[in-house]
Amino acid sequence: MPGNSFGNFFRITTWGESHGKALGVVIDGCPAGLSLTDKDIQFELDRRKPGQSILTSQRKEDDKVQILSGLFKNKTTGAPISMIVHNIDVISKSYEDFKDMYRPGHADLTYDEKYGLRDYRGGGRSSNRETVGRVAAGAVAKKILNKMGIKTYGYVCQIGNVKIEKIDFKYIEKNPLRCPDKNKSKEMSSIIDNVRREGDSIGGVIEVRTIGLPAGLGSPVFNKIDARLASSIMSIGGVRGFEIGMGFSISEKKGSEVNDIMIGKKKGKVVFSSNNAGGILGGITNGQDLILRFALKPTSSISKPQKSINKSGKVRNLKIKGRHDPCLCPRAVPIAEAMVNLVLIDAIFENKLSKIENLF
């Protein structure tokens, strides 16, 4: 099963299953000399963990991280950094009843078709628990990026058909939904609570913004920064749409309405009159804020009775047990931030080779 690694210069490999003994990540390419402790990692894992509120899965995992290698006296040594998180609250019995059934909207069918067998307990490798490793690695990338003045913020901007009307960055982490609009947050949270009570689920949209980026990150042709970002976000389970800047709505406009006009230079940086491009031109950052959005589908594992087929193709009644997120959005925010930070750190390291003067 290849495809568990991401990045070229700051390369991560995640491992582990939802109901296995543990999950983790190995980072290859973190420079020596970075101050790093468990606390830096734990802060992000706590934002990702289940059981944070009634808006998320009720699985109770502390997700306590242990850094196994690559550190000496709280500084990175340049050696691979290996991190582990043990699975504690595993109830595999809930999955026994439908182990031969294919959950609609989940990866059960395709894993069986491809591998001929699958770890049905908690969805195995297709579970969102795999992202524990991504978030742990993303915390290391974030620490380096923050030192460079680069900061990434994610937030929920739509649940069902309710959209935010304003962005208060300070409010994002003050509500369990991670919505930046106080009024809309209440409305959105009650939508999630209602579908949860009905044994159903709901989708939504997340926006991610990065500020403080230099111009020049990303390379033509296949390593365009938007291509890398799309790949990183689309690799998160349940993502069904991705856009940069104005995204899909730009297709309804005229060039004269959407071209970001360059109006001068300030402190060596080009100033634009708008940011419809989302901070990227020709696959390379232009020094403006990076803005991307992605759509998440409603969680497929719902407790409402459904029909599906079993391995032999027979139609059966299906009642899914286990603890599931009624909406993927609140917990997907730190995961998306981690993926964006991993793409950016990789591009920054790659940029050290973009011109000869960067080497001296």
Ligand X SMILES: Cc1cc2nc3c(=O)[nH]c(=O)nc-3n(C[C@H](O)[C@H](O)[C@H](O)COP(=O)(O)O)c2cc1C
Give yes or no for residue 126 binding ligand X (CB under 6 A). yes
Nearest to 156 by CA among 181, 127, 131: 181
Question: How many residues sit in the footprint of ligand X (CB under 6 A)?
Answer: 19
Minimum distance from residue 108 beta carbon to ligand X (Å): 9
Peptide bond just before 221 cis, omega within 30 deg: yes
Q: Assess contact for 136 and 12: CB atoms under 8 A.
A: no
**In terms of CB distance, is 82 or 299 closer to ligand X?**
299
Q: Which residue has the tokens 């997700």?
A: 63
Single-letter code of the amino acid located at 258: V
**In terms of CB distance, is 7 or 238 closer to ligand X?**
238
**121: phi then psi, degrees, rounded to nearest 5:** -70, 110
Distance of CA 166 to the CA centre of its chain: 23
Site for ligand X in 50-79 (CB under 6 A): 57
Helix (H) / strand (E) element for 12: namely strand 11-16
Residue at shortest CB range from ligand X:
237
Residue from 7, 237, 245, 298 that binds ligand X (CB under 6 A)? 237
Give yes or no for residue 308 binding ligand X (CB under 6 A). no
Complete DSSP assignment for 171-195: GGGGSTT--S-HHHHHHHHHHHHHH
Alpha carbon distance 39, 131 (integer Å)? 18
Give yes or no for residue 331 binding ligand X (CB under 6 A). yes
Give yes or no for residue 276 binding ligand X (CB under 6 A). no
Using the contact rule CB under 6 A, the part of the chain among 32-40, 153-161, 236-244, 252-260 near ligand X is 236-244
Binding mask 284-303 for ligand X (x = CB under 6 A): -------------x-xxx--
Single-letter code of the amino acid located at 59: R
Residue from 332, 339, 340, 347 that binds ligand X (CB under 6 A)? 332
Single-letter code of the amino acid located at 95: Y
**In terms of CB distance, is 11 or 106 closer to ligand X?**
106
Token pair, residue 88, equals 């504690």
**In terms of CB distance, is 11 or 103 closer to ligand X?**
103
Binding site for ligand X (CB under 6 A): 57, 106-107, 126-128, 236-238, 297, 299-301, 324-325, 328, 331-332, 335
